[in-house]
Chain A
């Protein structure tokens, strides 16, 4: 595709102006860092895998309470490679949230959120919220007993959010109760509204990152490397490794489709939220009845919302990208991990 000696280009290279692109990419330099530098790219690949596998699953999925679970069983059991595609979709979703959180965490620890990268940070925060929205709506679509409970419990917890709790509760359910409307709304958001918004935000995020590249405060003097070929070869290796991990999980670790939802059935014993909600769920579950004169659960959810707002406002609260923020991030991560582990016991 491309000329390797810089003297000329292949047929395609001549038509896309490869020499100019290569010259630009070679002139641009990025900091030479460890694995964490590729988390953004890995997240992007996982999102693309989600879109690709999601489109294929969509060919057979039916967003109807009477048919949703049966259509998923058909996808997994009868459609050629349906189980692989569905597993890729389910595993990529978990890995996407994981890589997003890891990406955000490294940015906080490194202080890369500080001025002038506020817009990168905020667009990244919006992406995190939208991707969790994608995961939440996606978890409802199988319309299994677990999915039904998740829709009910998840939307019920939303009530505790200060000021907008009731509205959020109603919005997530698409009404007052978890019904066919909930599934219909979850489907619409999962396959159209949220992916469109995420795609637009990804472009915006990349634009902001590109405009303010390599202005990370604490490693300004770190060694650099050209984007092409050094960084891109590494990024391609990271993408390939991610792909291998996703495929290995999809092939060897089957994701359950559960049993069809039946609102008349009693709650599943030991039902748990997805791993990224475990800590949050556990805090609400063990909340005391009364805390500082307020309903315990409401107080704790309000406190967690406060922490969330502080995270969003981080570039304004910590203008230097201080080490204290990095330490707090480590403590927060450790607390979440411990709470999640405790919730599993």
Chain B
């Protein structure tokens, strides 16, 4: 059967766009491979150039039912021996994962609305996920998931929220994604792709911890870790929320009414004293960092090039990241080391600016002297020319 595909050649000439379209889409799809062909999904006999190719006896399927699609795709994609010959880089576990996912379970239960392979990947125009045109490309995944999950009508039978996409777009993750950060998470970064499942309270920290490894490790050393587990609270989400994760800097640790701690703790509780201490330390470090950044910005605005300023800023940012991570321990003593790192970076940045300003002042003094000498030379030449004029008028040579 390999090498002969009369389906595509015949369908490409048909006048009915519905029958011609698939043949056109196929030739630019990821499945354009003689080992797959139309017969890979539709069966039939591709060597027969007549309608005999469509004989039901040959297993021909004109329109696979929704419930059949995953099985048809899985027929090849779960076949490790076939896949390693066609594209050795492809994984083979998608069908198994999909079958376990909520999407897969709903589809297997006969839910015609449940997404199956073609819902996300497309039908005849399946493209590799690396293609920017593919709906499952990293750049498009949020639109793909949001296409269904933001649709209130479509989601109403499942009684789930539909604000995930709008919240994510405004979140620190969504904003980083929009800026082009290649590490910013999109839907499948947390929920998985084929295994799409909402992380529950017990697994959410593991979803976050895949990227925020240090924060998770430090959090597990904190008194919150056991307490949250005991109360069945979703670890990270309790403070950071899930889709609308706010920037860490805007999460107020402290005792003020807008502080996150007040969600669970009354102001007269002992933990709030710790929160107040941590808030004070964070505020001090933040103010000193902001002052150092302002000093560097002022120097730049004044036209001063401060060698090493980028490195100093990087050091400052790294120290701030470290501090924000250590906050998860809720141990004020452990904040001292990262705060000391911030103070060192602040001192380094301020010293750099001060050195450049001192050099600039010294240079300026030299320039003033040079300009004065040049100015005096100009004046003397001017006087000389006036004297020459005067002598010419008087007739003196």
Contacts and interface: CB of A to CB of B under 8 A. Distances in A.
Nearest to B368: A251
A140 interface: no
Given A84-B363, A233-B384, A234-B385, A240 B303 contact: no
B305 to A, nearest CB: 3
Contact of A77 (B307, B374, B378): B307
Contact of B371 (A78, A244, A257): A244
B367 interface: yes
A76 interface: yes
A237 B371 contact: no
A233 B363 contact: no
Interface of chain A, main secondary structure:
helix
Nearest to B303: A254
Interface string B354-397: 00000000011001001100110110011011001100100000
Interface residues of B, number: 20
A244 B375 contact: yes
A241 B382 CA distance: 10
A240 B377 contact: yes
B374 A237 contact: no
B176 interface: no
Contacts of B389: 230
A243 B376 CA distance: 12
A81 interface: yes
Contacts of B378: 237, 240-241, 244
Interface in A65-97: 73-74, 76-78, 81, 83-84
Interface string A203-241: 000000000000000000000010001100110110011
B306 interface: yes
- Which applies to chain B's interface (DSSP): helix, strand, loop or mixed? helix
Contacts of A257: 305
Contacts of B392: 225, 230
A230 B371 contact: no
A78 B307 CA distance: 6
Q: Quick one: which of B363, B381, B388, B389 has the most chain A CB within 10 A? A: B381
A24 interface: no
A294 B32 CA distance: 47
A77 B306 contact: yes
Given A251-B364, A254-B303, A233 B388 contact: yes
Contact of A247 (B374, B381, B384): B374
Contacts of B388: 229-230, 233
B303 A247 contact: no
Interface string B235-276: 000000000000000000000000000000000000000000
A90 B352 CA distance: 26
Contacts of A199: none
A13 to B, nearest CB: 19
A241 B388 CA distance: 19
Contacts of A10: none
A28 interface: no
Given A84-B363, A251-B364, A243 B381 contact: no
A248 B371 contact: yes
A329 B392 CA distance: 36
Contact of A83 (B305, B370, B371): B305
A234 B380 CA distance: 11
Contacts of A78: 307
Q: Chain A CB within 10 Å — which of B303, B306, B363, B389 has the most?
A: B303
Interface in B299-349: 303, 305-307
A237 B382 contact: yes
A76 B305 contact: yes
Given A81-B363, A251-B364, A243 B382 contact: no
A230 B305 CA distance: 45
A84 B385 CA distance: 31
Contact of A233 (B370, B374, B381): B381
Given A234-B381, A240-B377, 20 more contacts: A73-B305, A76-B305, A77-B305, A77-B306, A77-B307, A225-B392, A229-B388, A230-B389, A233-B384, A233-B385, A236-B381, A237-B381, A237-B385, A240-B381, A243-B374, A244-B374, A244-B375, A247-B370, A247-B371, A247-B374
27 contacts: A74-B307, A77-B305, A77-B306, A77-B307, A78-B307, A81-B363, A83-B305, A225-B392, A229-B388, A230-B389, A230-B392, A233-B384, A233-B385, A233-B388, A234-B381, A234-B385, A237-B378, A237-B381, A237-B382, A240-B374, A240-B377, A240-B378, A244-B378, A247-B370, A251-B367, A251-B371, A257-B305
Interface of A: 73-74, 76-78, 81, 83-84, 225, 229-230, 233-234, 236-237, 240-241, 243-244, 247-248, 251, 254, 257
